[in-house]
């Protein structure tokens, strides 16, 4: 039970940060009201994503709600299935679960057009990354940490079995 405290706290903090920043974006940014930092490289610009990651398949809000819930359930099952994983694994899963919950909550709010995105990074006229939110950031961070955990665990197993991969 004790090993679940860190992921629970991670989920609570990341989800609260996502919901609070979305609330701030909705309260302080309107359409066509952007706030620029670092010469416009970082921009807060309110958008609503009715599609999937990076805005693909716009207009399929309900489809992505179903997909998001299915992925969330798979991630929770995977978390409980992998019993002997290190703390970094539990933290990574907490981040991914929190981000998924944040975006699912957005899709469930009645009258909300789509997921609230408001962070934009890039240089106009050169390249600007698709607008995102804190939930997206914690999902990506969690996925990156998960890749590190899997790599370390595979390397550890190879050393334990004497398989050097050559």
Residue positions annotated with a catalytic role: 117, 136
Phi-psi region of 162 (alpha: psi -120 to 50; beta: other; left: phi over 0): left
Cα(144)–Cα(157) distance, integer angstroms: 20
Residue 43, Cα to own-chain centre: how many angstroms? 19
Cα(147)–Cα(125) distance, integer angstroms: 33
Tokens of 144: 């990156």
State the maximum Cα–Cα separation within the chain, in Å, rounded to a whole number: 60
Element (H, E) at 80: helix 61-81
Cα(112)–Cα(141) distance, integer angstroms: 26
**Cβ atoms of residues 120 and 99 within 8 Å:** no
């Amino acid at each position: 039970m004790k090993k679940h405290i860190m992921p629970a706290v991670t989920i609570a903090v990341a989800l609260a940060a996502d919901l609070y920043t979305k609330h701030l974006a909705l309260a302080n940014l309107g359409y066509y009201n952007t706030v620029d930092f670092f010469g416009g490289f970082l921009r807060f610009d309110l958008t609503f994503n009715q599609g999937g990651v990076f805005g693909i398949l716009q207009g399929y809000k309900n489809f992505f709600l179903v997909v998001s819930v299915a992925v969330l359930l798979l991630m929770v099952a995977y978390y409980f299935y992998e019993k002997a994983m290190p703390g970094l694994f539990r933290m990574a899963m907490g981040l991914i679960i929190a981000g998924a919950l944040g975006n699912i909550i957005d899709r469930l709010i009645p009258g909300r057009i789509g997921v609230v995105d408001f962070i934009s990074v890039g240089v106009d006229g050169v390249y600007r990354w698709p607008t995102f939110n804190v939930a997206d950031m914690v999902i990506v961070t969690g996925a990156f940490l998960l890749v590190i955990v899997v790599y370390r665990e595979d390397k550890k197993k190879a050393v334990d079995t004497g398989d050097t991969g050559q």
